[in-house]
Each structure stands twice: as structure tokens, then as C-alpha cells.
Structure 1
Amino acid sequence: MVYECLPASLDVLIIEDVSSSIMKSDYQKMKDFILNIVKGLDISQKSNNVAFLSFAKAAKVSFYLNAHYNNTRILTAIESHHGEGGGSNISSALKLSASDVFTDNNGDRADADNIVLLFTDGMYKDKSSLQHDLEVLKARAEVYVVTVGSIVSNTTLAEMATSPEYLLKLGDPLTTNKINSVLSPCKI
């Protein structure tokens, strides 16, 4: 018997750490990896939707899930975004993801699985609301953490990923394979 894969719909949020702790060379590797991921996605209103958020001392949504419905527009929007440096406030990114990105008004679909790809080194200072913000986001989405750079805070990052196997390393071939398989699921 032959089984056909019917692609499942995904709402994918890419979160990019643009703080000063990310070295320029690592930032470029991260950006190239993100662009390659998006190039391989089937993006349309009915299949996969993508949102993009960055953070340093504060988090900013560059575009929501319902802003662009083709790869070219998303790639252009991501390419035009640049690192800004400054502090690292991961908590603001987690909070904004749950409160502002994964909402009906901004394109979150009930029939699509929510996936977060968080690219960071895990260095941050404000830990006060991190756990709460993380719990709220994990209730709405599966969180994959891709570590960036050679100096990372693995203890913190392991807590951020929904599951231990969701903690990945930029530059590791297994990371590419894992992300590609996560973003190409089949309906059951």
C-alpha cells in the first residue's frame, strides 16, 4: 500500500535575536539559514503562513502571519531586516509572540499547527517574567530553539524549547534536517 503525504497547514513564527551578544558573522549565518528555510516552504493562505519578530532590548513584530502569502514577499521582508544591537530581552519576544502574533486578528488559524523557531544565544538579563511568558507561549505553540554562536546559555535554552530534542544548534546538519521535517508535516 502506498501512502500519500497531504501537507498539514502551519503558522510559523520566526524569532530572531538581534542583540549585541550575537556576533556579526553568526548573525549572517542565522540570516542565511532563515532565508533558506523560508525558500523551502510552501506559503499561501491555505498552506503555511509565516510571521517574523526580532528582539534586542525590546521585541518588534516585522510582519504578522496574515501579511504575506508568498515566498518572495517574505524573503524580501526578512532580507531588509538588520540587527540593531543592544540588550537582550527574550521575555519581551515571548510575551509579544503569545499576545500579539498568535491571535485571530493577526492571522493565527485554528486549523493550523503553531510553530516557533527561536534563534538566540540565550544571553539575557531580565529573568523576572521569563517563565510565565514561556508557559503562555508553549500553550499556544511548539517552540524550537536554534542556538546561535559559540557562547550560548544551554541551561536557559533547554528550558525554552518545548522538548529537549527541540534544542538545536545553528550549523549542525541535523538541525537543517529536523527543521525541514518539522516544517513539512503530513496530515494524519
Structure 2
Amino acid sequence: MSTSVNQSEYEKVKSLVLTTISNISIGPTATNVAFMVFSGRAEVVFHLNTYIENKTSVMEAIGSQAHTGGSTFLGDAIKLATSDVFTETNGDRPDAENVVLLFTDGESSADEDVRSSIDELKSKAEVFVVTVTAEVDNSTVDFVASSPSLNHVFRIDAPETANIVRNVTTSETCATIPPVANTAD
């Protein structure tokens, strides 16, 4: 978690993610989940095919993540999702729609990296952004989210967010939960 996201906000993100995971079916022909963080550096915690039939392991891996603080590498996370997560080698299925749930405040240590790489990610996945702090860089958040941003950007504290996230992840999609950054940053 970046320093712009506090421990309480981080715990809200983990809670929403874990609740979401508990409500979906994980399997080779159901939803597959990948998880990334991008605080200090962008890294894939696990790929789409790591826990393909084990919801408990998915939840344990996410639940064990700790708030670490540090700079936010949103651009690197976007590049990594595009080049590493959404590949057939790592479990991307050509017959499944890809969804990214990005938890962030929109802050980034290198805005140019975000702007130069987001279009490629949007060509592979529908990007939903859940903002996690009171202070949000709305221009970055709106730019990163799929269009129209009104239908793709939500506040973590908004009452409807949990239902929206559940609906997004229970449709016939391959859900990826990358950058729990800036929120899991």
C-alpha cells in the first residue's frame, strides 16, 4: 500500500476483495483470479492459473498481504498486467472476458508510464476503478478506467460499490484483481 493509503483504507480494500472472492465461483471454466500489488514496485502475487480450483488459497494469499507503504507504481502495474497477467501461459483464456478491478487513489510515481500503457490494457480488459481515499487524483482515475468513467469508477465507501463489484465479477468474465495498489499499494 502506498503511503497515500492508510491502514484503515487498506483493510477496507482487503475486506471488499475477500467478500467478492467469497461470492464467486473459481474454476477452469468459471472465474479465474490474479492478484497484483504496486507499492514499492509492481509485482504479480499470483497469476490467473495459480489457484485455478482453490478459492481458499486465493483468499489466504490475498488475506496475507500486508500494508507496506512506499511509492506507487501504477504505470508499471498496468504494463505488468498487460505483458504478464493477460497471457495464455499465465491462465488468460481467449474465450473469457477480462475484468480488472483496480483499487487506487490515482496517485502514481510516474504519470507518463500510466498514460503510455493504459490503452493496451484496455484492449485486453474492461477496467473498473475503486477509489480508496478521500483525496483522489480524478484525472488519472478517469483516464485509467474504461469508458464511460461514470460506469467504471466507484468509491470504496459508497453503499452500491459492493453490489457493483459482485455483479462485475459474477458475470461470465475472467476477473483479475490487480493492483491492490494505492489501496493495496
Q: Same fold (TM over 0.5)?
A: yes
- Find the counterpart in structure 2 of residue 79 from structure 1: 63
Distance 1:29 1:127 in 2: 25
Corresponding letter in the other structure for 1:115: V
Instruction: Select between 117-126 and 140-149 the one with higher mean Cα deviation.
Output: 117-126
Structure 1 residues 186 and 87, CA gap change in structure 2 (3 angstroms): closer
Matches within 5 A, 1:139-158: 139-158=123-142
Alignment counterpart, residue 45 of structure 1, candidates 28, 46, 60: 28
- Find the counterpart in structure 2 of residue 180 from structure 1: 166
Distance 2:172 2:119 in 1: 27
Q: Percent identity?
A: 38
Distance 1:78 1:185 in 2: 21
Distance 1:38 1:96 in 2: 22
Question: Is residue 96–residue 172 contact of structure 2 (8 Å, CA) maintained in 1?
Answer: no
- Find the counterpart in structure 2 of residue 162 from structure 1: 146
Rg larger in structure: 1
For normalisation by structure 2, the TM-score amounts to 0.88
How many equivalent pairs are there? Answer: 170
- Find the counterpart in structure 1 of residue 78 from structure 2: 94
| Partner secondary structure for residue 128 of structure 1 | helix
- Find the counterpart in structure 1 of residue 94 from structure 2: 110
Corresponding letter in the other structure for 1:23: N
Offset, 1:186: 5.5
- Find the counterpart in structure 2 of residue 171 from structure 1: 157
Residue ranges of structure 2 left out of the alignment (5+ in a row)? 174-185
Structure 1 residues 186 and 44, CA gap change in structure 2 (3 angstroms): closer
After superposition, give the CA deviation of every residue in 1:91-136 in whole Å (9 maximum; x if it has no partner).
0110000000000100000111100000011112312221121011
Tell me which stretches of 4 or more aligned residues in structure 1 moved more than 3 Å.
none
Corresponding letter in the other structure for 2:13: M
Distance 2:9 2:92 in 1: 30
Corresponding letter in the other structure for 1:152: V
Corresponding letter in the other structure for 1:157: V
Distance 2:138 2:97 in 1: 26
Matched, 1:32 2:15: yes
- Find the counterpart in structure 2 of residue 138 from structure 1: 122
Higher relative contact order (CA 8 A, sep 6+): 2
| Partner secondary structure for residue 27 of structure 1 | helix
For normalisation by structure 1, the TM-score amounts to 0.87
